[in-house]
């Protein structure tokens, strides 16, 4: 195990969550030193089966890449929380924990006698962090939510796509990931506030709310001016030129944020006179005359190399980027220079993007197999070998996925 250098060393988190938002949040916290104990149900975290690809364990099918990608820096145990003995294990594990993370259907924890009121009474310093689809209020309160469904409900596809394609959901689970990041922020806020009050609190992030929070700038455009988004493909709704343009090799994204950058970009592209054209003097002018400007830039780029032009633009102080494949970006020199890939005992993943000078992130645990740390975690909690054997015999602690 690597040395724990993280800012959250000493913080213990019991993670009852599954799928994406909760597990990604706890991975973020684990990367920065928190001790994460992942509790899986009898069937296991369902994302273990979300493949291919699957890990090959000496010819045996291991967990999916999806599961592995968001569950490092955790120890894993498996409990059947429908059994009272398993719930008592959870209470025992929570005695010295700082945070409980879960994403059960609303009412489940309460039915088990483990809702926040019970937690606050029994463990007043514990922070209870919950992911929900829609929260508990409103006409959708208590209903389940998955990323793509919530993307659609909060209108993200109407901010994406082109007139030819129609509305298109984002190609990554942005609502789940944003929910995870907000949950992480909420947990850190609650931990910080606890230094002052000595008390824990309930932290909730709903996918619906997180989805609404990333509608910028379209939410502001409507709230201020009643302006609805148009299907602009890769173009920006408020800036021009800010779009993906073809070149002789690969497309590049030209992102001009002000008039000075516009002048520099036109000079690099060999059409400096365009910056003096009255139609394009300001961003408002450029937006009004977007089709004409797009045509001029497209023509100027038609014979250029995309990567070389990107570097010319960047060296001139103009934001730009080539359209890379996943393989190209994961093998890029910049990715390596930033230490953004981690490898450990056959595991490969994306490193934490948060770089800290004194307390850097680390990879101490590879993603746990089902029930991998049952005995170690329970022994730490004070259970002796006969007590653990009894819990296994009762089915409260599981050593293999149900049906395996």
List residues bridging with 350 in a β-sheet.
Answer: 341
Question: What's the per-residue H, E or C state across 97-113?
Answer: CCEEEECCCCCHHHHCC
- Of 18, 106, 13, 118, residue with least CA distance to 66: 18
Q: Give 305's DSSP letter.
A: -
> How far is the C-alpha of 337 from the C-alpha of 333, rounded, in Å?
6
- Ramachandran sector of residue 288 (left: φ over 0; alpha: ψ -120 to 50; beta: rest): alpha
Nearest-10 Cα torsion for 167, 171, 175, 181:
-150
The enclosing H or E element of 25 equals: helix 21-31
Spatial neighbors of 116 by CB under 8 A, at least 6 apart, are 109, 128, 202
List residues bridging with 100 in a β-sheet.
Answer: 14, 128
Given the residues 15, 31, 147, 176, select the one marked as catalytic: 176
Are the C-beta atoms of residues 250 and 328 closer than 8 Å to each other? Answer: no
> How far is the C-alpha of 249 from the C-alpha of 309, rounded, in Å?
10
Cis ω for the linkage preceding 53 (within 30 of 0): yes
- Of 359, 361, 253, 355, residue with least CA distance to 309: 253
Active-site residue, 176 included: yes
The enclosing H or E element of 206 equals: strand 202-206
Q: How far is CA 40 from CA 26, 96, 320, in A?
A: 14, 20, 44
> How far is the C-alpha of 370 from the C-alpha of 259, rounded, in Å?
56
> How far is the C-alpha of 162 from the C-alpha of 354, rounded, in Å?
34
Residues in the chain: 404
Active site residues: 176
């Amino acid at each position: 195990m690597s040395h724990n250098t993280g800012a959250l060393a000493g913080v213990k988190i019991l993670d009852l969550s599954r799928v994406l938002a909760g597990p990604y949040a706890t991975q973020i916290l684990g990367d920065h030193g928190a001790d994460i104990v992942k509790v899986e149900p009898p069937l296991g975290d369902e994302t273990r089966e979300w493949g291919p690809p699957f890990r090959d364990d000496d010819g045996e099918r291991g967990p999916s890449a999806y599961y592995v990608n968001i569950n490092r820096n955790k120890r894993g145990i498996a409990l059947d929380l429908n059994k009272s003995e398993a719930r008592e294990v959870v209470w025992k594990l929570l005695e010295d924990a700082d945070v409980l993370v879960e994403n059960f259907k609303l009412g489940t924890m309460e039915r088990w006698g483990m809702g926040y009121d019970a937690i606050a009474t029994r463990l007043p310093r514990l922070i209870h962090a919950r992911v929900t689809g829609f929260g508990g209020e409103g006409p959708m309160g208590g209903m389940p939510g998955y990323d793509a469904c919530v993307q659609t409900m909060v209108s993200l596809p109407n901010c994406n796509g082109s007139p030819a394609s129609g509305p298109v959901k984002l190609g990554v689970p942005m609502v789940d990931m944003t929910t995870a990041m907000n949950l992480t922020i909420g947990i850190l806020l609650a931990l910080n506030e606890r230094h002052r009050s000595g008390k824990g609190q309930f932290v909730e992030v709903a996918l619906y709310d997180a989805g609404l929070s990333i509608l910028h700038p379209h939410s502001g455009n409507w709230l201020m001016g009643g302006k609805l988004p148009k299907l602009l493909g890769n173009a920006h709704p408020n800036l021009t030129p800010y779009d993906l343009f073809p070149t002789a090799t690969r497309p590049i994204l030209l992102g001009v944020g002000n008039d000075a950058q516009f002048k520099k970009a036109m000079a690099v592209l060999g059409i400096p006179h365009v910056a003096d054209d009255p139609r394009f003097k300001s961003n408002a002018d450029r937006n009004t005359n977007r089709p004409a400007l797009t045509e001029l830039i497209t023509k100027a780029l038609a014979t250029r190399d995309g990567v070389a032009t990107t570097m010319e633009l960047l060296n001139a102080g103009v934001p730009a980027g080539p359209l890379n494949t996943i393989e190209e970006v994961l093998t890029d020199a910049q990715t390596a220079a930033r230490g953004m890939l981690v490898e450990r005992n056959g595991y490969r993943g994306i490193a934490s993007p948060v770089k800290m000078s004194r307390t850097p992130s680390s990879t101490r645990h590879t993603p746990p197999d089902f029930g991998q740390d049952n005995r170690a975690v329970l022994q730490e909690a004070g259970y002796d070998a006969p007590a653990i054997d009894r819990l296994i015999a009762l089915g409260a602690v599981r050593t293999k996925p149900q049906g395996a």
